[in-house]
Structure 1
Amino acid sequence: MANDSLLDRSRTIAGPGYNRWLVPPAALAIHLAIGQAYAFSVFNKPLGSLISRDADNPAPDDWTLSQIGLTFSIAIVLLGLSAALFGKWLERVGPRKAMLASSLCFGGGFLIASLGVSMHNIWLVYFGYGFVGGIGLGIGYISPVSTLIKWFPDRKGVATGMAIMGFGGGAMIGSPLATNLMAHFKDSAPQGVAPTLIVMGLIYLLFMQFGVWTIRVPADDWKPAGYVPSTEHNALITTGNVSADNAIKTPQFWLLWIVLLCNVTAGIGVLETASPLIQSVISGTEKGRGMTEPALVAAGAGFVGLLSLFNLLGRFFWSSASDKLGRKVTYAIYFGLGIILYALAPTLSHNAQLALFVVVCCVIISMYGGGFATVPAYLSDLFGKFQVGAIHGRLLTAWSTAAILGHLIVSMLTENAKASGLTGAATYQPVFYTMAGVLILGLLANLAVRPVKEQYYEKGPVTAEAGGH
């Protein structure tokens, strides 16, 4: 019988008196692991010099930066596609089975990629880290979300912020881990990459088991002691439940799809240009003119690290604030304030106002991270908690689209700027102005969100066990 399996959803239902605060650490274990994806760029130089062993003088058969970068793009596209494809399955089988599948795919992706590195076959790297690992990313990303929302109906933003904060902070673990492992193995393999991928795959596979075996779901009739549903701050909060299949028939779903697309596309505009841009801004200051190239590169790396920190903190701060402000108001802040800051950034960079420029970028990235963490709670407000994980999975196709769109916009605008003779920080000015325009579209989409009509509600009582049907 299926119910005899340790992986079955029925085996994860918490008993009376269970402390719901034990659930966020289980979710965090998954997100801290898969958040390593944000640190993939640490492999760029080593992967580009496997044959030459010299990043500054690559051999003809060494992989190019664009070839290597495609690995990350494939992973993010598969994140969105697998989240959409497996969302209803996840709701039916429960988070334990989904988290185990995620850990096997994500950890296994590293192992396949290491084989590709050893054989110098880029297609195996794409298949391992990009395709298989990307499926692990997608399933792992959404697997804790609906569970957390069901445990914290009174603090949806806080709960999802805690988990998704882990995805933003995964790079802060993954980057130094990869760097130290490659240094350790550099004498036993080209640039130490292949054994590093094996060790990291095994570490993440084991680390994610904490989440797999400690996750619990509440009983269908459970609610926090003294909890009374309130719509005081948000008239959009539904009293019904909408299935994933019905949700995509509503204008609200597609408005939020545009909202997420715009927020992520604009954020990528900063993330992709961060290191070279800050180096240009620094070199335009009086102190920066005498800095050496290695010092500027180090400053760029430090700036990227600072942005990662604000990406992480923004996920918790803004999503928690949305519990008080309401989701629609919080997104209005993301877009309204974002438009001003994006439009201001080129002037600050042009005038070499370094401190102000750094502050502006940190706030922008905090709202980029906040957008990811707030959207599951926004979806729950609009569509109920019945299949919110599956709905969230389908919405994440906006992230996949933004990963491609944002990269194309940044590449096209910077190349055109260079072709027209612009240099230094001025090269990136068109990116910021364009992304301010993208945020205007996001603001309009957010303002158009209205409560979901009752015609889309599920008729009769709904249970989690029916989640995949």
Structure 2
Amino acid sequence: MKFRWIYVLSGIIIMICLGTVYSWSVFRISVEKYYDVGTTHSGLPYMAALAFYALFMFITGSFLDRYHPRLFIFVGGLVVSVGWIASSFATNIYMLTFTYGIVGGAGVGIAYGAPISVVTKWFPEKKGLAVGLVLVGFGVSPLITAPLARLLIENYGIMHTFFLLGIIFGCVTSITSFLIKNPSINDVSFYKAEKLSASFSNLNTANMVRSKSFIGLYLNFTIGTMIGLMLVGMTSNISVELIGLPRSTTTWLMTFFALFNGVGRPLFGWITDKTSPKYAMYISYVLIICASILMLFSGEGSTAMFVIAFSIFWLNLGGWLSIAPTTTIRNYGIEHYSQNYGVVFTAYGIGAIIGVLTSGVLIDIHGNYHFIFYLIIALSLFGSVITSKYCDNH
């Protein structure tokens, strides 16, 4: 069964293209200058991309098991490509929000669930690890795309960069989609047995949303992604404006942070598999609080503290994007996974909207990044209480 690893590799490549949304911080300062807008407005395309990514993940979830996964990847990649290319012609921030955010984000949501669904079926005996490995691609995308975007922006400008990346993403996802397929019973002889003996239950979506554990998972996923996405989107701004680092250094640091985002996915997938979702959530919140405290004592020249703190923040965003699907499979079974995780993933969109808007408004009003980290500590403590009350220890 060694050949099944090709689906993990293909998924990683697809996710690298889709995960460029996490490189928005590289585009953000250039977008602010190009359109002459502030932090709140420059966050709109990023916020819309994350929200529509989550919305279309939810919409396509109920169809994933009815059609070939290749179709979703091909169509999603094409929509992403169109969104980026159209962004190169956007004349204002609102048009960019539509092309990059709504169109591009929808494309990500259409394609995103297919590689995850495929590998959970190819690797029924180690679902958390397999999902985490595929999601490495989404997490480490800035490792590749952030330096590429910065190079293109410096040489061709922000608008031409959108166009060129749109062409690249369309070609890569279209080609790679043809390597993806679901297993048959003959392909994975143990799949049928695993399916019958998998999680303690195979709940459909209606029963899942009525369960106590769903409340805990949904609220925690909202909080975890809210924290992670607001900070990923502001990494460059905080680096340049609070710490005083040059943009070139900031771009390369983002590639370093992307490694942690990637590592967080298989790491927390493994932790969730080996212990429980509850313990994985507690570990994440403790790390986030420690990183926030570091940033409260940071200022101009605090490079080491900034690097340590943001490595932890990016690690934990990756962690939550592995905790959530692994917990969904573990708690509610694999039979209705596509539909169930589509519903769970709407928490990501809610977290994106609240996080990006709140952080932008706080900065525009107070002009002090430390307010962001007070908010994050409060959210982490609230999430810990929810975990204690609603998340089962199994």
Bin the TM-score by the shorter chain.
0.7 to 0.9
Which residue does 1:178 correspond to in 2? 149
Q: Does 240-249 or 25-34 show the bigger shift?
A: 240-249
Residue number among 261, 267, 282 corresponding to 1:332 in the alignment: 282
Q: Is the 2:7–2:119 contact (alpha carbons within 8 Å) kept by the matching residues of 1?
A: yes
Distance 1:121 1:29 in 2: 32
Q: Does 1:311 align with 2:261?
A: yes
Specify which of 66, 79, 98 is matched with residue 72 of structure 2.
98
Which blocks of at least 5 consecutive residues in structure 2 are unaligned?
Answer: none
Asked if structure 2 preserves the Cα contact closer than 8 Å seen for 1:238 and 1:382, the reply is yes
Aligned residue number for residue 440 of structure 1: 381
Structure 1 residue 63: Cα displacement: 5.0
**Are 1:248 and 2:209 an aligned pair?**
yes
Three-state SS of the structure 2 residue aligned to 1:92 is coil
Structure 1: runs of 5 or more not aligned: 1-16, 49-54, 231-236, 284-294, 419-426, 453-469
Amino acid at match of 2:37: T
2:222 corresponding residue in structure 1: 261
Partner residue in 2 for 1:77: 51
The alpha-carbon deviation at position 167 of structure 1 amounts to 0.9
The separation in 2 between residues aligned to 1:404 and 1:336, in whole angstroms, is 24
Deviations 1:284-335 (A, max 9, x none): xxxxxxxxxxx54444444434322321222232223333233322122112
Alignment of 1:349 with 2:290, yes or no, is no
Deviation at 1:208, TM superposition (A): 0.8
Asked if structure 1 preserves the Cα contact closer than 8 Å seen for 2:52 and 2:106, the reply is yes
Q: Distance in 2 between matches of 1:21 and 1:241?
A: 26
Query: Structure 2 vs 1, CA of residues 365 and 182 (structure 1 numbering), >3 Å: closer, same or farther?
Result: closer
Q: Deviations over 1:84-138 (max 9, x none)?
A: 1121012221311211221121112223323x33xx3655433332222111111
Q: Is the aligned partner of 1:141 residue 2:102?
A: no
User: 1:274·1:303 contact (CA, 8 Å) conserved in 2?
Assistant: no
In the TM superposition, residue 376 of structure 1 has moved relative to its aligned partner by 0.8
Residue type at the aligned position of 2:159 = V
CA contact (8 A) 1:146 1:385 kept: no
Q: Is the 8 A contact 1:145 1:389 kept in 2?
A: no
Deviation at residue 451 of structure 1 after TM alignment: 8.3
Query: Contact 1:149–1:160 at 8 Å: present in 2 too?
Result: yes
Letter in 2 for 1:23: Y
**Are 2:37 and 1:64 aligned?**
yes
Q: Which has the larger radius of gyration?
A: 1
> Structure 1's 350 and 451: CA in aligned 2 closer, same or farther, altered over 3 A?
closer
Q: Distance in 1 between matches of 2:27 and 2:106?
A: 20
- What is the CA distance between 1:367 and its match in structure 2? 1.6
Q: What is the deviation of 1:71?
A: 1.8
Q: What does residue 88 of structure 1 align with?
A: 62
Which amino acid letter does the alignment assign opposite residue 445 of structure 1?
A: I
1:208 to 170, 173, 176: 173
Q: State the TM-score, normalizing by the size of structure 1.
A: 0.74
The amino acid that maps onto 1:198 is F
Question: In structure 2, what is the Cα distance between the partners aligned to 1:399 and 1:103?
Answer: 20
Identity among equivalent pairs (%): 24
Coordinate RMSD, CA, aligned: 3.1
Using a 3 Å threshold, how does the CA distance of structure 1 residues 67 and 181 change in structure 2: closer, same or farther?
Answer: same
358 and 241 in structure 1: CA distance in 2 versus 1, 3 angstrom threshold: same
CA–CA distance in 2 between the matches of 1:124 and 1:430?
30
**One-letter code of the match for 1:168?**
G
- Of 131, 137, 146, 2:102 maps to 131
* 1:37 equivalent among 8, 21, 41: 21
Give, in whole Å, the separation in 1 of the partners of 2:30 and 2:283: 40
Aligned residue for 1:234?
A: none
Which has the larger share of helix? 2
* Mapped contact 2:224–2:317 kept (Cα < 8 A): yes
Q: Which residue of 2 aligns with 1:461?
A: none
Cα distance in 2, alignment partners of residues 268 and 31 from structure 1: 17
What is the alpha-carbon distance in structure 1 between the residues aligned to residue 187 and residue 208 of structure 2? 24
- Indicate if the aligned counterparts of 2:81 and 2:170 stay in contact, CA closer than 8 A: yes
Q: Given that residues 131 and 269 in structure 2 are in contact (C-alpha distance below 8 angstroms), is that contact kept between their aligned partners in structure 1?
A: yes
Q: Distance in 1 between matches of 2:292 and 2:185?
A: 45
SS at match of 1:89: coil
Whether the aligned pair in 2 keeps the contact of 1:79 and 1:135 (CA below 8 Å) is yes
Structure 2 vs 1, CA of residues 146 and 445 (structure 1 numbering), >3 Å: closer, same or farther? farther
- 1:154 alignment partner, SS class: coil
